[in-house]
Amino acid sequence: MPEAPAGSDWTDREIGLIVADYFDMLSLELAGRSFVKAQRNAALQELIGRSRGSIEFKHQNISAVLYRLGMPWIAGYKPMANFQRALIDGVERYITRDPALFENPMPTASAPGLHEPQQIFFEAPPVTDFEAVPRVLERIIRKFDPALRDARNRQLGKSGEERVFFAEQSGLRVAGRDDLARKVRWVSVEDGDGAGYDIRSFDPAGRERLIEVKTTTGHKQTPFLLSENERSFSEERPDAFRLVRLFDFARAPRAFELTPPLNRSVLLKAATWRAQF
């Protein structure tokens, strides 16, 4: 097919084809199946008449949209922000046809380590920049809100709490504190929600760790929901409250930890309003 003029706008057909190709590669990657990016790129060049570089850049643009939606993206296609309305619309159409791509891109049951006393790899929290959402992305993020998605996925939340529960016990045993490991409690399961935290644990010196777990299949900076009860409890017990953020949970679970005051680390925005008569 003749190559399209450099700098010309992509048609809806071209966008539909490259978005479909991207999600097909992503599904292969999440399933652990190999593919050759160069061969996929060459096939698209023949199909739509765009250059290799133009196609690769558009793949990176798609990664940038998925990043904002708290979704996994293809390794090697680093998110490159160039948010064109037509491309965003193309991604929205594709996800709308198959909502599971957003809701559960990889079943949480496949996450390693559940029911096993494994440690969790902790890293530094993300650098706070409070970057505003580009206006062109506001509508698609309202439609596909990653924080709301993770909050309503109760199985994901329970699996994340379970992972932290066993990791806390394991860490105390490694530190020679079997006595404290036996006292670790999964409060949200044993007593129900409402305490303001999920797990009561300890550090090796015996100081309380009251842990609220927030889990996502998304990346490190995926937003999350925090209840008013959790926020207020973090202020009541700043000495003990710890927010553990588990991310990339379905592929390679990692975590970071936040300590009060939480507004030093995250930008807190009111998400719901209580209406009262």
Q: For residue range 36-89, list pLDDT tens digits in order.
A: 999 999 999 999 999 999 999 999 999 999 999 999 999 899 999 888 899 999
| pLDDT class of 113 with cuts at 50, 70, 90 | very low
pLDDT at 107: 55
Residue 260 has pLDDT above 70, yes or no: yes
Rounded CA-CA distance 165/91 in Å is 37
pLDDT at 110: 45
Residue 162 has pLDDT above 90, yes or no: yes
pLDDT at 108: 45
* pTM listed for this prediction: 0.86
